[in-house]
Amino acid sequence: MPIIEKQVVKFVRSKKYSPMKAEGLAMHFDIEDDEYEDFLSALLMLERQGEIVKIKKEQYASPRKLGLVVGTLECKPKGFGFVIPAIKSFGDDIYVNEECMGSAMHGDLVVVRLPGKKDSRRKGRYRRDVRSESGKIIDIIEHVNSTVIGLLKKSKHLNYVVPDNPSLFKDIYVADEDLDGAVPGDKVIVKIINWPTRHLNPEGLVSEILGKEGDPGVDVKSIICQFKIPTSFSEKIVKELEAIPEKIPEDEYLRRCDLRNETIITIDPDEAKDFDDAVSLKREDNKWVLGVHIADVSHYVKPGSEIDNEAARRGNSVYLPGEVIPMLPEKLSNNVCSLKEAEDRLTKTVFVTFDSYGRLLHSEIRKTVICTRKRFTYNEVTAILECIESYNIDVDREILDLIINIKELAELLFKNRMNRGSIELEIPEVDIRLDGEGNVAKVEKCVRDVSHGIIEEFMLVANEIAAECAGKNKLTCFYRVHDEPDEENLRDFASFIKSFKKVKIDPLNKKELQDVLEGVRGKPESYAINLMLLKSLMRAEYTIKQKEHYALSIEHYTHFTSPIRRYPDLIIHRSLDGFLDTSGAKEKDSDNSEHLKRLASHCSFTERRAESAEKQVIKDKLIRSLEHRVNEDFDGIITGVEEYGFFVQLQENLLEGLVHVRTLVDDFYIYDKKSATLKGERKRKVFRIGDKVYVRLSNIDKIKKQVDFKVVKK
């Protein structure tokens, strides 16, 4: 935080401060006329961060003194929500019922009054009330739902749009004159013109018709719009691309370490086109010399260019079933930067030397030029390793030996990583293949086979080496941080394991956590237990401060290996450019820490956005693929138990749905929170996490995106 902002916060929190307007604060800090606009921007940023609030008469005050909190409203489909404080150290989320939301909607940045009473021991201060009373939203700093995607419907007297996002639980009314040609059954984008009140729904006008509900591609298009993911590149970007040569200039070869005669391969998914990493490996005198070669995107994408600005805005590429929304234009992502087979490409290479036990001896990062000898898919490499002698493929012995060796080294690195306390979660995923109409043609469970493990271990090493280099030489980059979990959350996980597996563990001991995960690997309860542990952990994020990565048990870690599809990787590549070009003499960066802090937070947001969009598309596609199978029976596994029922994941496609307790008509079932079970009072039948069940698909609600099951037998 710049000095003036720290001074403002300190002043507003002080006992002598009385609320004043921006003009008064500017006079207090002797802000010059030409600095006033920047000062107002600083106040707005402090407001958004929750450090100050604007109250009556446009005056600024300390939220702490007034029992106020700034945060993001997260609504639940049933009509209530929670405000997530902007300042993490504040404490618990604040419950808000529908009547106390005012004109706020899901995702808005709001000011909420705490449900509490004045503390007589501390004049003017509020204390949190332990009761579950509702906070009250008294101001909205930012509305985020200026447009909403949903399905247009019509009642007897009203047109209304049902939002795709169930967290936007109020329908949006649209007048006849504001339909812009839309008819019931259309998926539309509606622009909010009147925000909701305590008793009235929001009102809007149709700004775009996406297509008919159920038509091919409309579902994916709707989700892309819902998550506000940019999809097109501007004319300015197109013009910048014209100036980027497709061939490497001759003088650039002379400035780099030439590795074109080395045996280098890529290993990627079948459908991949943006290859941003390749590997090589040599054995010398009982030592391993690993080369991790990463596309040198920073050579082509310069800071401040239109391409760079758009890449920063996108944050990352988004991979959806049947569609990729790239961070960089196709000329760069799939061509100039992509490490294609038999084509010269500019790279940055991390050379790492290990001893025969896989222990690191030496590392170095250099600018290089490579020519990939062979492009492999994960399936091809796995097939080679499973049956190398009978695998009928036109690959010479040198490359086959390379594949055998990289497997051996990767296994050593994995063993060493687990020995130092790395947590390896096993969360199953599905791969959906679509037909030409955008419908599900094939669903496969993603298998993390040996070839995936090889690339993962090598990328982890390269990321760690890049982070160590950045930290040691004070280079500008984003670190990938995974904070230590809250001890109480881990204790809750241990209690769950004790009641479920009859095993007592110390959750602060990583070895014991590893043993739990290994003990359920491949078993029906594996997913549920891995998911429970995942929920106990913090979420990894990008920051400008170097911290330990808890799950990997690594002191230094960043993202370096995917600059084609992740903006944080491009940041450290640029820092390495300055470091490598000056033989280690890094020029001093300008003070832009606040900008980088905001950019790191933005990249964490775009990462979460991409994950949420992908999950939503997969869920929607799976739900649509089962529409014609209502009343069919499926094998499933119980993945969660609550007071109102339990969740079942279908073994066929991993889709999850609810068995509501009211459908369990053979007995009266009691929920035991400690053991996370539903137990019948008379027959003593128990439903617990990990149990196999045979269920009937009883209902699909496409609008609410809900699936309901009934138990056929256990």
Q: Quick one: pLDDT at residue 130?
A: 37
- pLDDT confidence tier of residue 390, bands split at 50, 70 and 90: low
Task: Please compute the mean of the pLDDT values over residues 441-462 and round it to a whole number.
Answer: 92
CATH of region 147-213, choose from 3.40.50.300, 3.90.1720.10, 2.40.50.700, 3.40.50.720: 2.40.50.700
Domains 147-213 and 627-713 alike in fold: yes
* Domain-wise residue ranges, the chain: 147-213, 235-481+545-615, 487-537, 627-713
Tell me the C-alpha distance between 532 and 157, whole Å: 47
Task: Please compute the mean of the pLDDT values over residues 603-631 and round it to a whole number.
Answer: 94
Sheet with 109-113: strands ordered across? 94-96, 81-85, 68-75, 109-113, 136-142
389: pLDDT strictly greater than 70: no
Interval 165-195: pLDDT, tens:
989 999 999 999 999 999 999 999 999 999 9
Among 539, 540, 517, 518, which Cα is nearest to 530's?
A: 517
Interval 402-428: pLDDT, tens:
999 999 999 999 999 999 999 999 988
- Tokens 């036990």 locate to 357
Average confidence score pLDDT of the chain: 91
Interval 18-52: pLDDT, tens:
999 999 999 999 898 888 998 998 899 899 999 99
Identify which has the larger pLDDT, 620 or 594. Answer: 620
Which parts of 373-438 fold into alpha helices (H)? 378-386, 397-419
Phi, psi for residue 16 in degrees, rounded to 5? -80, -10
Q: Quick one: pLDDT at residue 121?
A: 35
pLDDT over 90 percentage in the chain: 73
125: pLDDT strictly greater than 70: no
- pLDDT confidence tier of residue 498, bands split at 50, 70 and 90: confident
480: pLDDT strictly greater than 80: yes
Q: Are 100 and 135 in contact (CB under 8 A)?
A: yes
- pLDDT confidence tier of residue 306, bands split at 50, 70 and 90: very high
**CATH code of the domain made up of 627-713:** 2.40.50.140
Give how far Cα 353 sits from Cα of 239, 359, 409, 559, Å: 43, 8, 11, 20
Please count the other Cβ atoms lying within 10 Å of the Cβ belonging to residue 439.
13
Among 493, 486, 503, which Cα is nearest to 533's?
A: 493
Interval 669-698: pLDDT, tens:
999 887 889 999 999 999 988 899 999 999
pTM confidence score: 0.89
Q: Quick one: pLDDT at residue 444?
A: 87
Task: Please compute the mean of the pLDDT values over residues 560-568 and round it to a whole number.
Answer: 98
Phi, psi for residue 469 in degrees, rounded to 5? -65, -45
303: pLDDT strictly greater than 90: yes
> Is residue 566 classed exposed, middle or buried when 0-12, 13-18 and 19+ CB atoms within 10 A define those classes?
buried
DSSP states along 21-78:
-HHHHHHHTT--GGGHHHHHHHHHHHHHTTS-EE-GGG-EE-HHHHTEEEEEEEE-TT
Q: Residue 672 in 3-state DSSP?
A: strand
Q: Quick one: pLDDT at residue 503?
A: 84
582: pLDDT strictly greater than 70: no
Q: Quick one: pLDDT at residue 436?
A: 84
Interval 342-386: pLDDT, tens:
999 999 999 999 999 999 999 999 999 999 999 999 999 998 888
Q: Are 571 and 476 in contact (CB under 8 A)?
A: yes
Task: Please compute the mean of the pLDDT values over residues 284-294 and round it to a whole number.
Answer: 94
Tell me the C-alpha distance between 476 and 479, whole Å: 10
pLDDT over 70 percentage in the chain: 95
- Tokens 């702490």 locate to 64
Identify which has the larger pLDDT, 266 or 392. Answer: 266
